[in-house]
């Protein structure tokens, strides 16, 4: 069994396998908004970095859906 780490994901405490990437979290959430913004510990993560950005114990990851329109 993989080691689990605890993170804050969209404001909720979650346990995820160590080595989980931002891309894994997005897939897990079912999010498919092409305008999605991701923050890890209050820092913007560029979409190209999603597959290589690993989350660590205690990290805060937020998926933000910008509300476009008027």
Tell me the pLDDT of the chain (70 aa) as tens digits: 469 999 999 999 999 999 999 999 999 999 988 899 999 999 999 999 999 999 999 999 999 988 766 5
Quote the pLDDT of residue 70.
Answer: 57
Quote the pLDDT of residue 32.
Answer: 87
Q: Is this model's pTM higher than 0.85 or not?
A: yes
CA–CA separation, 28 vs 30, rounded Å?
A: 6
Element (H or E) spanning 22, and its range? helix 22-29
Which CATH architecture group holds 4-64?
Roll (3.10)
Quote the pLDDT of residue 34.
Answer: 87
Q: Which of 10, 20, 6, 16 is nearest to 63 (CA)?
A: 10
CA 56 vs CA 9, 24, 27, 28: distances in Å: 12, 13, 18, 17
CA–CA separation, 46 vs 38, rounded Å?
A: 8
């Amino acid at each position: 069994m993989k080691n689990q780490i605890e993170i804050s994901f969209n404001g909720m405490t979650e346990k995820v396998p160590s080595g989980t990437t931002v891309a894994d979290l997005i897939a897990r959430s079912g999010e498919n908004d092409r305008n999605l913004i991701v923050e890890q510990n209050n820092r913007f993560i560029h979409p190209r970095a999603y597959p290589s950005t690993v989350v660590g114990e205690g990290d805060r990851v937020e998926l933000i859906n910008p509300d476009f329109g008027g």
